Amino acid sequence: DAGVIQSPRHEVTEMGQEVTLRCKPISGHNSLFWYRQTMMRGLELLIYFNNNVPIDDSGMPEDRFSAKMPNASFSTLKIQPSEPRDSAVYFCASTLDRVGQPQHFGDGTRLSIL
Amino acid sequence: KNEVEQSPQNLTAQEGEFITINCSYSVGISALHWLQQHPGGGIVSLFMLSSGKKKHGRLIATINIQEKHSSLHITASHPRDSAVYICAGISRGGADGLTFGKGTHLIIQP
> For the CA atoms of A54, A58, A60, A64, what is the dihedral angle to 10 degrees?
90
Name the A residues in 11-50 with CB < 8 Å from any B CB.
31, 33, 35, 42-45, 47-48, 50
Give pLDDT, residue B56.
Answer: 93
Residue type (1 letter), B45: S
Cβ distance of A107 and B41 shorter than 8 Å: yes
Cβ distance of A45 and B50 shorter than 8 Å: no
Residue B21, classed as helix, strand or coil, is: strand
pLDDT band at B101 (very low <50, low <70, confident <90, very high): very high
Percent of chain B with pLDDT over 90: 73
Considering only alpha carbons, which residue of chain A is nearest residue B49?
A100
pLDDT per position as a tens digit, A82-112: 999 999 999 999 999 877 788 999 999 999 9
pLDDT per position as a tens digit, B7-43: 999 999 999 999 999 999 998 888 899 999 988 778 9
Give pLDDT, residue B95.
Answer: 58
pLDDT band at B92 (very low <50, low <70, confident <90, very high): low
Sign of CA dihedral A86, A91, A92, A98: negative
Q: How far is B59 from chain A (nearest CA, A)?
A: 17
pLDDT tens digits, chain A, 114 residues: what are they? 689 999 999 999 999 999 999 999 999 999 999 999 998 999 999 999 999 999 888 889 889 999 999 999 999 999 999 999 999 999 999 999 877 788 999 999 999 999
Return d(Cα B74, Cα B72) in angstroms, integer: 7
Residue B42 has φ and ψ, to the nearest 5°, of: -70, 150
CA angle A46, A51, A52 (to 5 degrees): 60
A100 touches B at CB < 8 Å: yes
- HEC string for A30-60: CEEEEEEEECCCEEEEEEEEECCEEEECCCC
Chains A, B: CB contacts within 8 A come to 71
Give yes or no for residue B94 having a pLDDT over 60: no
Return d(Cα B74, Cα B62) in angstroms, integer: 12
Q: Are B11 and B82 within 8 A, CB to CB?
A: no
